[in-house]
Amino acid sequence: MSLELQLQQNIVDPKLHLEISQFYHQEAYFLDHRMYKEWFDLLTDDVKYRMPLRVTKERRDGSDIVDEMTYFEETKKSLETRVQRLYTNSAWVDDPPTRQRHYITNIMITPSAVSDEYNVRTYFFYKRSRASELQTEEIMGEREDVIRKEEGKWKISQRTIYPDQTVLTVMNLGMFL
């Protein structure tokens, strides 16, 4: 089956696409405005949140993603700890707060075998500036999510973040991609 035919068969209703797109825009808004508790509420209790390494290698050598090694591999509990820390005086990395933007594009939605669950692929571009520094930091890449409805609300059940860079040029990964 051609890729074009597969994509045509996986088209979701435009109303659903808009609803899920709005969910991602709301998530970006929460992160950009440091509303981390609200962002945290967008996660399921069994969430898996990870970012594997990307390496540079010849095409013939296979995938450039190293799934066995990650920049982070989080659970709901570990993300809760990170979020709670941001509301304390010991979150010096975010004081003064960074100015940040999450740009989410190319939202591709395919139904899952599970009812009310969808696989969503997005591209992201994250940019931030710190204090009065002239340099800005950025990460870009692709995300693969599984989202589902729980009690009438969309939630992220799984997120795998694939950075385009093999060497990250950000001072830390304290933000949430």
Q: What is the CATH number of the domain that holds 155?
A: 3.10.450.50
- Token pair, residue 68, equals 């066995």
Collect all residues with Cβ–Cβ distance below 8 Å to 136 and sequence separation of at least 6. 127, 128, 129
Asked if the structure places residue 170 within a domain, the reply is no
Residue 91: pLDDT band with limits 50, 70, 90? low
Q: What is the DSSP letter of 159?
A: E
Strand ranges across the sheet with 65-74: 65-74, 43-54, 153-163, 136-150, 117-129, 99-111
pLDDT at residue 86 in the model: 82
Asked if the structure places residue 176 within a domain, the reply is no
pLDDT tens profile 118-174:
999 999 999 988 777 778 889 999 999 999 999 999 999 999 999 988 777 776 666
- Token pair, residue 17, equals 């696409």
Contacts 24+ apart (CB under 8 A), 105-113: 107/17, 107/20, 107/21, 107/24, 109/10, 109/12, 109/16, 109/17, 109/20, 110/10, 110/12, 111/10, 111/12, 112/146, 112/148
pTM across the whole model: 0.85
Asked if the structure places residue 51 within a domain, the reply is yes
Asked if the structure places residue 93 within a domain, the reply is yes
Asked if the structure places residue 75 within a domain, the reply is yes
Asked if the structure places residue 172 within a domain, the reply is no
Asked if the structure places residue 144 within a domain, the reply is yes
Count of the separate structural domains present in the chain: 1
Instruction: Print the domain residue range for 136.
Output: 3-163
- Between 97 and 21, the higher pLDDT residue: 21
Q: Mean pLDDT over residues 30-44, rounded?
A: 95
Please state which of the ranges 3-12, 16-25, 99-108 shows the lowest mean pLDDT: 3-12
pLDDT at residue 1 in the model: 47
Q: What percent of the chain lies above the pLDDT cut of 90?
A: 50
pLDDT at residue 71 in the model: 78
Residue 68: pLDDT band with limits 50, 70, 90? confident
Asked if the structure places residue 81 within a domain, the reply is yes
